[in-house]
Amino acid sequence: MGSNRIVVRETSPIGPEAEQADLEAIHVRLHGALAQERGVAATLRALPTQVRISVAGIAVALAVVLPRLFVSVGQGPSRWSGPAAVPAALYGTLLVALLWNALWPLHRPRSRVVEIVLVGAGLLIPFGLVDFAPGGACGLLRHLGYCFFIGSAVGWALLLLLRVLDRGDHQDRIVVWLAVGVASLATNLGLQFDCPETGAMHRLTCHATIGLALGLQYWAVIRWRETRGAGIAHP
Amino acid sequence: MISPTDDDLMAAYAAGDGSAFDEIFRRYAPALLRALRRGSGGDEATDLLQQTFLQLHRSRADFARGSALRPWLFTIAINVKRQHLRRSARRRADLLGDDLDRVAAPTRRSAREDLDGIAALLAELPPAQRKVIELHFVDDLSFAQVAEVVGASIAAVRVRAHRGYVLLRQRFAEKMRTE
């Protein structure tokens, strides 16, 4: 087997000297690339994966919980109901899985199937579980604007944070969609409990569509950047 | 002088010792470049190698002491290459076409050509078997290391390798008979 192994390697059209020259050139280029790895974004993505996930998890939790704190301070306890616990737990579980996969380190094998299933769930679950929570206690969000725009703004903040924490140089579209899935579920979960508008049609059109809208908006921005020569991958 | 272990080098690099990175590059870049060249063009492979080591730099805090660096790096390289291939699916189809043309074209036989043929037949194996054989046979990883890279049990990797080697031998024998 050993001799075969050697000869198979030799089938490379590149000779040893040319290969060595290639390696030296890559080494020099790498030093240049490593010199660029500075600043807040580089520091964040070089954090250990558990820390990156924790940072993103805190941001997601804030996006979900912060409006509820306002509700509790202003108007007393919200109208949390027992039956909402199961769907909320499903949202939470999916959020954790999406978050973990969106920041999945490249030194671990990835499962494309799992990623696609999670993206589908992140974007479609809000359409399926559209009406499980009783709505907001004080109508705080009504004073701030339409929930679609608030959800989109919060979703964009989460999406950008996840993109900064990602180490993959925006190369992989599925990772972008995983981040969109996180933003979709987090904003929908927050809105389920705090939006005063409890009609199913409102929740379908103004809440559930946020994820898809985020994906399309992100894609449009990237296309625009590409046409200006920035050249990063789009979802 | 005793050369430092991979573990020591990664620990030193994570602590900020840039020369440790150079030593890791010297040890693993040639094997990684050869692995990345399979199914990719020369320029693409060099870009992918650069990205692999950039990912090593970004992931250095994730490396657990006591882990094996070789499968760790190969997994990064495979994922980087996978992302690249997805982006250039059309080019990949062209490359596969080139491989098939090479198998189909009648040529004067030599030992070198036989082994080119093996490489082409390897490219035709089912992806799961091909990946295991490439890592085990060509890149010289142990079954335990291959299992770590592909994310399967050692037993599953052995089964895939066995089936792949059997298929490879059969197809090579058929090819020799028909020529």
Q: What residues does each domain of chain B span?
A: 1-87, 106-179
CB A145 within 8 A of CB A204: no
**Per the confidence metrics, is the pTM higher than 0.90?**
no
Mutation site for A-interface testing, chosen from B54, B153, B157, B169 by largest number of A Cβ within 10 Å: B54
Q: In Å, how far from its chain's centre is CA A27?
A: 33
Give the pair of three-digit tokens for residue A222: 């990237």
Give the pair of three-digit tokens for residue B165: 């080697």
What pLDDT is attached to residue A23?
84
What is the per-residue pLDDT across A188-234, written as a single tens digit (0 to 9) for each? 888 877 776 767 777 788 888 899 999 999 988 888 887 775 544 44
Contacting residues of A for B32, CB less than 8 Å apart: none
Helices A210-227 & A173-194, crossing angle to 10 degrees?
140
Q: How confident is the model at residue A235 (pLDDT cuts 50, 70, 90)?
A: very low
What is the per-residue pLDDT across B78-101, written as a single tens digit (0 to 9) for each? 888 888 877 766 444 444 444 444
What pLDDT is attached to residue B40?
65
Contacting residues of B for A22, CB less than 8 Å apart: 33, 42, 46
| CA–CA separation, B101 and A76 (whole Å) | 74
Query: Which residue would you say has higher pLDDT here, B106 or B58?
Result: B58
pLDDT reading at A180 higher than 90:
yes
Question: CB neighbours of B51 closer than 8 A, spacing ≥ 6?
Answer: A169, B80, B84
Q: How confident is the model at residue A68 (pLDDT cuts 50, 70, 90)?
A: low
CB B62 within 8 A of CB A48: yes
- Segment A70-92 mean pLDDT: 65
- Segment B110-118 mean pLDDT: 57
Give the pair of three-digit tokens for residue B26: 């010297």
What is the per-residue pLDDT across A159-179, written as a single tens digit (0 to 9) for each? 999 999 998 866 678 889 999
Nearest chain A residue to B73 by CA distance is: A107
CB contact under 8 A, B83 and A46: no
The residues spanned by each domain of chain A are 2-35, 47-227
Contacting residues of B for A107, CB less than 8 Å apart: 55, 59, 62-63, 72-73, 75-76, 79
| CA–CA separation, B49 and B33 (whole Å) | 6
Q: What is the largest CA-CA distance in chain B?
A: 59
Average pLDDT of chain B to the nearest whole number: 78
- For residues B23, B25, B31 and B33, what is the CA-based torsion angle, rounded to 10 degrees? -160
Query: Which residue would you say has higher pLDDT here, A9 or A168?
Result: A168
ipTM: 0.74
Question: CB neighbours of A191 closer than 8 A, spacing ≥ 6?
Answer: A141, A147, A150, A151, A203, A207
pLDDT reading at A6 higher than 80:
no
pLDDT reading at A105 higher than 70:
yes
The DSSP code for B54 is H
- Nearest CB neighbour to B59, from listed A42, A167, A169: A167
Query: Which residue would you say has higher pLDDT here, A227 or B61?
Result: B61
CATH ID of B106-179, from 1.10.150.120, 3.40.470.10, 1.10.287.3510, 1.10.10.10: 1.10.10.10
The DSSP code for B137 is I
| CA–CA separation, B25 and B48 (whole Å) | 14
CB B132 within 8 A of CB B161: yes
| CA–CA separation, B49 and B70 (whole Å) | 14
What is the per-residue pLDDT across B31-56, written as a single tens digit (0 to 9) for each? 898 888 876 666 788 889 999 999 99
| CA–CA separation, B49 and A33 (whole Å) | 13
What pLDDT is attached to residue A75?
53
Query: Which residue would you say has higher pLDDT here, A80 or B66?
Result: B66
Question: Which segment, A133-142, B109-118, B122-131, is predicted with the most confidence on average?
Answer: B122-131
Q: How confident is the model at residue A57 (pLDDT cuts 50, 70, 90)?
A: very high
CATH fold for the domain made of B1-87: Rna Polymerase Sigma Factor; Chain: A (1.10.1740)
Distances (CA, A) of B2 to A180, A213, B17: 50, 58, 18
Distances (CA, A) of A34 to A30, A31, A48, A165, B53: 6, 5, 18, 17, 9
pLDDT reading at B178 higher than 70:
yes
What pLDDT is attached to residue B1?
60
Using the Cβ of B85 and the Cβ atoms of chain A, whether some distance falls under 8 Å is answered with: no
- Nearest CB neighbour to B57, from listed A27, A37, A111: A37
Residue A206 CB-half CA count within 13 A? 21
Tokens 């870049």 belong to B29
Tokens 């919200």 belong to A78
pLDDT reading at B177 higher than 90:
no
Alpha-carbon torsion (A154, A157, A160, A162), positive or negative: negative
What pLDDT is attached to residue B15?
87
